[in-house]
């Protein structure tokens, strides 16, 4: 299997006609208009900036298996809406960077991509632990960001960003559903997140700030996900979380 930090995707069929239920009304989105000319993406060479879902997306993933799973979910929603997923950043109309805050080299690589997107005029969305844990980071100024619990709204974030708007979605008290569409890097491997966050409060740990308090998916939802993906040909499962041993031990404040 390839390096899990490399999640460039070739166009995998799809096209139009996917389910449209992932987009929410625009009045529920925090949109900042009037971005500088440097921040606005140029018109795509072979796609229409006026028709959502016709553009090409490059996805770059840093970090753990949870991040890889999040990227696969975001890729699935984008492809279902009609976007083309490509492995060439130069040919893409928008870059989606799923960031990792645990290791400094990963965050530095993300900052390099941000700088390159500014210099080339590429539209950019940053997802993952960096914006969730440090939304006021200087490098993220003027950039659309989507938090770890908002990946089911990635389509609307991408759509608005391609229009030249800045969108920031971070706050939520529920986890994304497990039955979202997915484009797996390896079609035989499913990475189900059994829970997110942790019970600890270690002062040195950035992940706590990004992933938050422990929240577990129900056994019923996990079993249903496994049954579904087995029917799709999956042969291997990577149960993933930040605090696997604490599964189900969180105070039942929320219902996932």
pLDDT tens, position by position, 168-222: 998 877 888 999 999 999 999 999 999 988 888 888 887 888 888 888 999 999 9
- Check if the beta carbon of residue 95 is closer than 8 Å to that of residue 132: no
pTM of full prediction above 0.85: no
- Residue pLDDT, tens place only, 189-204: 999 999 988 888 888 8
**What is the residue extent of each domain of the chain?**
26-169, 189-246
Residue 145 predicted with pLDDT over 70: yes
Dihedral of alpha carbons 231, 232, 238, 243, sign: negative
- In sequence order, the 6+-apart residues with CB closer than 8 A to the CB of 72 are 182, 183, 184, 185, 191
Q: Where are the alpha helices (DSSP H) in the chain?
A: 65-81, 104-120, 129-133, 154-162, 206-211, 219-230
- The whole-number pLDDT of residue 49 equals 58
State the CATH architecture for 189-246. Answer: 2-Layer Sandwich (3.30)
Q: Which two tokens stand for residue 11?
A: 């166009």
- Residue pLDDT, tens place only, 75-117: 999 999 999 999 999 999 999 999 988 877 888 889 999 999 9
- The whole-number pLDDT of residue 50 equals 61
- Residue pLDDT, tens place only, 1-52: 333 333 344 333 333 333 323 333 333 344 443 333 334 444 444 555 567 7
Is it true that domain 26-169 has CATH number 3.40.50.12160? yes
Determine which of 59-63, 131-135, 208-212 has the lowest per-residue pLDDT on average.
208-212
Q: Can 26-169 and 189-246 be said to share one CATH topology?
A: no
As a whole number of angstroms, the distance between CA 39 and CA 192 comes to: 35
Q: Which two tokens stand for residue 224?
A: 């249903």
């Amino acid at each position: 299997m390839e390096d899990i930090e490399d999640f460039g995707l070739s166009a995998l069929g799809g096209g139009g006609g996917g389910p449209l239920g992932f987009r929410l009304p625009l009045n529920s989105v925090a949109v900042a208009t009037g971005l500088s000319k440097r921040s606005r993406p140029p018109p795509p060479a072979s796609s229409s900036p006026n028709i959502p879902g016709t553009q090409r997306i490059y996805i770059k993933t840093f970090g753990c298996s949870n991040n890889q799973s999040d990227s696969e979910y975001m890729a699935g929603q984008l492809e279902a809406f009609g976007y083309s997923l490509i492995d060439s950043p130069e040919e893409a109309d928008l870059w989606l960077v799923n960031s990792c805050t645990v290791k400094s080299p990963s965050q530095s690589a993300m900052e390099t991509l941000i700088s390159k997107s500014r210099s080339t005029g590429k539209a950019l969305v940053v997802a993952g632990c960096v914006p969730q844990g440090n939304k006021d980071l200087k490098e993220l100024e003027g950039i659309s960001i989507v938090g770890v619990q908002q990946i089911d709204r990635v389509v609307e974030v991408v759509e608005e960003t391609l229009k030249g708007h800045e969108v920031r979605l971070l706050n939520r008290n529920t986890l994304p559903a497990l039955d979202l569409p997915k484009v797996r890097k390896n079609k035989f491997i499913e990475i189900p997140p059994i829970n997110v966050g942790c019970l600890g409060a270690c002062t040195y740990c950035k992940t706590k700030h990004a992933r938050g308090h422990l929240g577990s998916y129900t056994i019923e939802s996990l079993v249903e996900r496994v049954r579904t993906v087995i029917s799709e040909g999956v042969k291997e499962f990577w149960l993933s979380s930040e605090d696997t041993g604490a599964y189900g031990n969180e105070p039942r404040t929320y219902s996932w």
